[in-house]
Amino acid sequence: MMTSTVILGTQWGDEGKGKITDILTEGRDAVVRYQGGNNAGHTIVIGDKVFKLHIVPSGVIRQDTLSIIGDGCVVDPFVLMEEINILNGMGVDTGMVLISDRAHVIMPYHRFTDGLEERARKEGKKVGTTGRGIGPCYQDKAGRFGIRMGDLRYPAILREKIERGVERAGDMALKLDVEFDMNADKIMSDVTDCYGFLSGHIRDTSSILTEMVQRGSSILLEGAQGVFLDIDKGTYPFVTSSSCSSGYGSAGSGIGPLDIKRIIGIVKAYTTRVGEGPFPTELTDETGRRLRESGREFGTTTERPRRCGWLDLVMVRSSTAWNSITDLALTKLDVLAGIDPVKVCVEYEIPGKTADESGYETVLRYFPSHIEVLKEVKPRYIEMEGFGDISIDDLRNIRSTGEVPEPVSRYIDIIERETSSKVSLLSYGPDRNETIILDQRIL
Ligand code: IMP
């Protein structure tokens, strides 16, 4: 029986969640985004048309599935309006898209201050944000002067909040000696137009979900980014401003934690990272370049090249434990084709420091909390026979477990042994049928 399931990235985002989400959406009553905003990106293919979605949940392409942007999200209403318009233009019915009235609104001045804050950070300290206003919007939320989607119904409240927001952004521009020409009247009028377009979609989605859970509906909670971009568990401050952990699947949607029965962690067969911050298994050599090229590792939202490295099981082990992951889905296996040998990081060492000096044991099996420790760690690898003789076609033609080539099986065994979790799905190409479901219960 299908129940409520969370799907989340176990690394630094871009694990290939879009395709797996699409597979797991089939037959669901609702798909819910519970954190983040249009910093995420996933590609959907409808016939010969390809479209990159940033905020609308991927359930939108299925009739009869509610696509909910939940309480914990931040929403740029202009981007959302544009996505809905484009989807409509492609013949997609967007009537089932609902936006929580508790979700926070990204305003034009949030985008502006996102850029300013990034500019003001010194070299080496830049976060490398997507520039979509995510951080400043969550700052306003935590500061308790944010604008929620529900505020769009109340022009007087909205106007006062916009005025304060513009004033604060103006102060910051003045301090940094940057030109600033935003005014509250114009923003108010643009947002009001936008509200006219979106109003039919704005609802108390927590209550809707509560009733759905009571009726026994099947709901997929779609996490964005990944555990190591999580504001608490990630490589702070090189993180996003929301919680990307499974626990927030409950808080950011309104579905109680005990109503979530399955938590699926997506693991890419190697590691990538966009933006700045330490990356222990990074490969700056030919292998790294090869992973980037064959894995098409360029950001969906920003098109920036992604940094690439070996699979890091210290990360995946930590993700699995912290998030009560019940199943792993291993993606992009085809990208390792032809690479021999293959390495997998199973522990970190902190060379040359005593436990008292670093605050940690000298060998780490779980991800450290401080980036200064992370910068110093040396990965301990298991080197194994690679996928040298296995061509991409060999992988893509697999149709059952028995056909999984030996080196791939060994790779899976190591992942399962080191994370104490089970791999329930393999993906080795972008297409839906380039997938093996090892445990049907995840569907
Ligand atoms: P922000 O979310 O735009 O504030 O960016 C903060 C950090 O998170 C930056 O390093 C971004 O590159 C990264 N980031 C945000 N969204 C994604 C994503 O969907 N995939 C990968 N990295 C992301």
What mean pLDDT do residues 423-436 have?
89
Most confident of 122-126, 298-302, 332-336, 374-378: 374-378
> Is 80 exceeded by the pLDDT of residue 47?
no
Q: What pairs with residue 97 in β-bridges?
A: 67
Coil vs helix vs strand at 265: strand
Which pLDDT score, from 0 to 100, does residue 394 have? 80
Which atom of ligand 1 lies nearest, measured to the CA of 229? 8
Looking at ligand 1, which atom is closest to the CA of residue 114?
A: 4
pLDDT score of 399 more than 80: no
> ∠ CA 90-96-99 to the nearest 5 degrees?
110
Query: pLDDT tens for residues 190-226?
Result: 999 999 999 999 999 999 999 999 999 999 999 999 9
The C-alpha atoms of residue 135 and residue 117 are separated, in whole angstroms, by 10
| Average pLDDT, integer, range 232-237 | 97
40 ligand 1 Cβ < 6 A: yes
Tokens of 112: 């502006």
Q: What's the CA dihedral at 336, 378, 298, 20 to 10 degrees?
A: 60
Q: Which of 44-48, 126-130, 187-191, 342-346 has the lowest mean pLDDT?
A: 44-48
Helix axes 108-120, 184-198, angle to 10 degrees: 120
What is the reported pLDDT for 3? 86
364-375 pLDDT, tens per residue?
A: 999 999 999 999
How far away, in angstroms, is 6 Cα from ligand 1 center? 20
Evaluated on CA atoms 66, 67, 73, 74, the torsion sign reads negative
Pocket test for ligand 1, best of 130, 241, 242 (most atoms within 8 A of CB): 130
Q: What is the pTM of this model?
A: 0.95
284-300: b or e for each residue (b if 16 or more CB lie within 10 Å)? eeebbebbbebbebebb
| Burial category of 157 from C-beta neighbours within 10 Å (exposed 0-12, middle 13-18, buried 19 and up) | middle
Give me the mean pLDDT over the 50-66 stretch. 88
Is residue 235 in contact with ligand 1, taking CB distance under 6 Å? no
pLDDT in the model for residue 46 = 67
Q: 6: which strand partners?
A: 221, 263
Please provide the average confidence, as pLDDT, over all residues in the chain.
Answer: 94
Give kind and range of the element (H or E) at residue 74.
strand 74-75
CA of 152 to the centre of ligand 1 (A): 27
Looking at the predicted structure, is the pLDDT value of residue 1 above 60?
A: no
Which parts of 273-398 fold into alpha helices (H)? 286-294, 313-322, 355-358, 371-376, 392-396
The DSSP element (H or E) to which 165 belongs, if any, is helix 155-175
User: What is the per-residue pLDDT for 2?
Assistant: 66
pLDDT band, very low/low/confident/very high, at 353 (cuts 50, 70, 90): confident
Q: Which residues contact 303 (CB under 8 A, 6 or more apart)?
A: none
Q: What is the residue with the minimal CA distance to atom 16 of ligand 1? A: 39
For residues 320-334, average pLDDT: 97
Largest CA distance in the chain: 67
- 4: three-class secondary structure by DSSP: strand
Q: Which residue has a Cα nearest atom 2 of ligand 1?
A: 240
User: What is residue 367's predicted lDDT score, i.e. its pLDDT?
Assistant: 98
Q: List residues with catalytic annotation.
A: 14, 42
Give Cα separations from 168 to 124, 135, 152 (angstroms): 26, 15, 20
pLDDT in tens, 289-314: 999 999 999 987 788 899 999 999 99
What count of other Cβ atoms lies within 10 Å of the Cβ of residue 443? 15
Q: How far is the CA of 284 from the centre of ligand 1 (A)?
A: 21
pLDDT band at 281 (very low <50, low <70, confident <90, very high): very high
Whether ligand 1 lies within 6 angstroms of the CB of 424 is answered as no
Question: What pLDDT score was predicted for residue 42?
Answer: 80
User: Could you give the count of Cα atoms lying within 13 Å of 299 in the half-sphere of its Cβ?
Assistant: 20
Strand partners, 68: 32, 98
Helix/strand/coil (H, E, C) string of 50-73?
A: EEEECCCCHHHHCCCCEEEECCCE
Contact 35, 226 (CB under 8 A): no
Cβ 253 under 6 angstroms from ligand 1 = no
Residue 173 has pLDDT above 70, yes or no: yes
CB of 129 closer than 6 angstroms to any ligand 1 atom:
yes
Is the minimum distance from the CB of 132 to ligand 1 under 6 angstroms?
Answer: yes
